[in-house]
Amino acid sequence: MTDFTTDAPVLRARTTPPKREYYAYFALIFLATLPLCILTWVLSAARRMALPEKGPLAKAWTQARIITPQIFSA
């Protein structure tokens, strides 16, 4: 039989942030990076005279996916 009186299991607090907060930060960062991504996409298309491989929405989405977890891990 196991004795739990001296080594009682420790209940750990929830360490993951709420999803709503993550999505709110993600949306704000996405909207903040979107104008700059559109500008760089237009300039890149004008310079090369061809459409870049990734569109501005995909670039902004990628930037938001990179930046948002860094905020929560700090």
pLDDT for position 1? 59
pLDDT digits (tens, 9 = 90+) for 25-60: 999 999 999 999 999 999 999 999 998 899 999 999
The whole-number average pLDDT for the span 13-24 is 78
% of the chain surpassing 70 pLDDT? 77
With a cut of 80, say whether residue 2 has pLDDT above it: no
Domain ranges of the chain: 19-73
Sign of CA dihedral 71, 58, 60, 21: negative
Q: Please state, rounded to an integer, the average pLDDT across all residues of the chain.
A: 86
Average pLDDT estimate for 64-70:
94
- For residues 34-72, b (16+ Cβ closer than 10 Å) or e, as one string? beebeeebeeeeeeeeeeeeeebeebbbebbeeebeeee
